Structures are given as C-alpha cells and as structure tokens.
Amino acid sequence: MSVRAGERALGKAVSRRGERTLGVLSAIALLGAMVMALFVTPPDAEQGQVFRLIYVHVPSAWLAYLSFAVVLVASIAYLRTTKTRWDRLAAASAEIGVVFTILTLVLGSIWAKPVWGTWWTWDPRLTTTAVLLLIYLGYLAVRRMTDDPRRRGTWSAVVGIVGFVDVPIVHLSVVWWRSLHQAPVVAKVAPRMAPVMAWTLVLSVVAFTLLYAYLMVLRLRVGRLEEKAVAEALSPRIGAAAAKAAVGG
C-alpha cells in the first residue's frame, strides 16, 4: 500500500460512524471470546483452570507486537513525508502498545505464580519484554521533551524505528535461549491443542485486534482534539485551520 493510499484509508477509518461500528463489533467479539474462554473450553489437563489465562495473555502479547509494528511503519512514513498524521498514528499506537505490554507482563506474572512458583524471574522472554516496555515508555518520554512538532516527530520516529529491533528478539528469545517460558504458541502449541481451545484462542486474538482498532480510532481523535485545543490557544487563524483539518481527518 502506498503512503497516499494508507493516508486515505486512515482518514476513512477515523470517521465517527466507523468508530461506532468498530466499538460495537469489538464489544460483541470480546463478549463471545470471554464466554468461550471461561465457560465452553475445558480446563487444561496439566495446568487446570489457570491455563484459561492464555486467552487474554497471548492476544495482549500479539497486540503489543502489532502496536509497535504500526509505530515502525508510521515512523518510516513520517520520516519520508513529514506529515503530522503519521506522527499522530505512531504516537497513538505506541501508547496503546504500552498498555498491552503492561497487561502482558501482569498476566504473565499471575500465570507464572501457580505454574512456576514465582511472580517474576529473569527469564529471557520476561526480561526482553520488560526491556520492550522500557523502550516504548522512553518513546513516550521523548515525545514530551520538545514542543516543536517537527523535532518531536523526527526524534520519536527514530526511537520508534530503532526500538522495534527488540520485538523479534522478544519473540525468538524462547528459541535462542533456554527459557522457562513455553515455545511460540501459534507455531508449536496451537496444533496440539483441542480444536475448541485453538478456535477460542483465534477468536480472542480477533476480538482483541478489533479492540485495538477501536482504541486506535478513539486515540487518534483525542490526538486531533488536543492539537486543535493547542492551536486555538496559539492563534485564531491556526485554530481555524486545525479545526478544518480535524473535521477532514
């Protein structure tokens, strides 16, 4: 997809109607996934009930990866075009990615306690995920270092591109190093799962991805409104232009 086509698709996705549709769809999908996860799937033969955490832990981790992949693509697009909407997209995705990375770490810790006997261990997967969180917290901190939009966009785009290096390291850490953490789920575990468990996992991933899309649309609107408020305060003429841009996406 070209940069221009991506911008057009982004503009359409940000419409209020699209926002409402996404909200309803993600709520229905999440409800269905949670019913399947808690009431339909059987408990695991070895881990029992706590295994059901897989239906929220794995989608959270997937969304952390997806969010930071979007940051990478939007950062490259921003450096190529210097258009604000790409910087806004990267910032929104980074913030949501941080939320899902925190959720992944917390859920992993809750799962680790009954299975590994500890809340936390300096295992390669856990450690690289904690580093990932620090990188993107750093990304958000860099965005607060300057008020100059061009400088902010450039600095954070560089961090967003370089920071993504940790994502494949997190994913492959369980292959490269000896780890308590199980192998990558989709490749190794899902084919051995009962079909109802595998399909519930797929549904959970789809539901969380829809939620990500909804949160992105909402977060992008917040970004536009905050920029409009600042522009209104700075100058009536800039404020009017920003208001026009906000309506047009």
Partner 1 sequence: MGYLIAGYVITAGVLGGYLLSLRMRARRALARAGAVAARRDARISEPGGEANGADG
Cβ distance to partner 1 smaller for residue 77 or 93: 93
113 forms part of the interface with partner 1 (CB under 8 A) = yes
Piece of 70-78, 134-142, 182-190, 214-222 that binds partner 1 (CB under 8 A) = 214-222
In this structure, the chain runs to a length of 249
Contacts with partner 1 in 125-184 (CB under 8 A)? none
218 is a site residue for partner 1 (CB under 8 A): yes
Residue 28 as a binder of partner 1 (CB under 8 A): the answer is no
Asked if 197 touches partner 1 (CB under 8 A), the answer is no
Task: Assess 25 for contact with partner 1 (CB under 8 A).
Answer: no
Site string for partner 1, 56-75 (x = CB under 8 A): xx--x---------------
Let me know: does 202 contact 209? Beta carbons within 8 Å: no
Binding region for partner 1 (CB under 8 A) out of 73-81, 154-162, 182-190, 236-244: 236-244
The contact set with partner 1 (CB under 8 A) reads 34, 38, 49-50, 52-53, 56-57, 60, 96, 99, 102-103, 106-107, 110-111, 113-114, 211, 215, 218-219, 221-222, 225-226, 228-229, 232-233, 236, 239, 243
